[in-house]
């Protein structure tokens, strides 16, 4: 008789626990993290060659999603050695000593179909700000694909000092695009 009340209490507790998001492993060779910024009248395209992501996402319950992306700022590459050195330097990314940018979701809200509104915190150069963007996330069995663009104002994070603190030489708005392929863990 004692076991029945305990079993019933255990069943109630298990039903009260929220569903956990499914874990995904990003495939770096099939994924990209790029950015575009204006330099004068020319759009400059670059990429981050090293980044890692921890993803917990279930399309049946996207509000439980937890996504963290860590970007190695020293992996900035635009295929121009002089520009890359300047971008990694103290005026822009201050990419020395293992500097990282960290993106962490705070909410994922379905908009219909495979579209989602994502709210996140982005930490860059010791400054944390809220960012908001849309993403298209498709899940097909054990494969997932996420694409979107995170718009940021670089000076909100102290990126671009001295002569680069205004938008005169390098635009203030940066579009960070992600295209992530992942497999279920």
* 35 assigned to some structural domain: yes
* 175 assigned to some structural domain: yes
* 12 assigned to some structural domain: no
What is the pTM for the complete model shown?
0.87
Q: E strands along 22-65, which residues?
A: 23-26, 32-39, 42-48, 51-56
Burial 147-180 (b: 16+ CB within 10 A, else e): bbebebebbebebbeeebbeeeebbbebbbebeb
Phi-psi region of 38 (alpha: psi -120 to 50; beta: other; left: phi over 0): beta
At 83, list the tokens.
Answer: 């520009």
* 15 assigned to some structural domain: no
Name the more confident of 162 and 2: 162
* 14 assigned to some structural domain: no
Tell me the C-alpha to C-alpha distance, in Å, between residue 53 and each of 19, 33, 65, 87, 132. 21, 11, 13, 23, 18
Cβ-based burial of 105 (10 A; exposed 0-12, middle 13-18, buried ≥19): buried
Minimal CA–CA distance to 145: which of 37, 57, 68? 57
Predicted confidence (pLDDT) at residue 8 exceeds the cutoff of 90: no
Q: pLDDT tens across 149-184, in order?
A: 999 999 999 999 999 999 999 999 999 999 999 999
* 46 assigned to some structural domain: yes
pLDDT of residue 97: 87
How far does CA 56 lie from the centroid of its chain?
13
Structural domains of the chain, count = 1
* 125 assigned to some structural domain: yes
How many beta carbons lie within 10 A of that of residue 53, not counting itself?
20
Q: pLDDT tens across 80-139, in order?
A: 999 999 999 999 999 988 999 999 999 999 999 999 999 999 999 999 999 999 999 999
* 6 assigned to some structural domain: no
Q: CATH number for the domain including 38?
A: 2.40.128.110
Q: pLDDT tens across 26-79, in order?
A: 999 999 999 999 999 999 999 999 999 999 999 999 999 999 999 999 999 999
| Contact (CB, 8 A) for 84 and 76 | yes
């Amino acid at each position: 008789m004692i076991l029945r009340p305990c079993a019933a209490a255990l069943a109630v507790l298990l039903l009260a626990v929220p569903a956990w998001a499914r874990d995904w492993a990003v495939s770096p060779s099939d994924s990209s993290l790029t950015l575009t910024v204006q330099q004068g009248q020319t759009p400059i395209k670059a990429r981050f060659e090293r980044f890692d992501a921890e993803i917990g996402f279930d399309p049946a319950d996207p509000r439980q999603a937890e996504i963290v992306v860590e970007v190695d700022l020293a992996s900035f590459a635009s295929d121009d050695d002089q520009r890359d050195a300047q971008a990694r330097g103290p005026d822009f990314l201050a990419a020395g000593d293992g500097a990282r940018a960290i993106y962490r979701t705070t909410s994922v809200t379905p908009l219909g179909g495979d579209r989602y509104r994502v709210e996140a915190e982005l930490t860059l150069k010791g400054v944390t700000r809220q960012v908001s963007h849309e993403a298209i996330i498709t899940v097909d069995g054990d494969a997932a694909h996420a694409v979107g663009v995170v718009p940021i104002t670089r000076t909100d994070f102290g990126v671009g000092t001295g002569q680069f603190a205004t938008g005169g030489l390098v635009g203030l708005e940066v579009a960070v695009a992600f295209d992530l392929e992942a497999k279920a863990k």
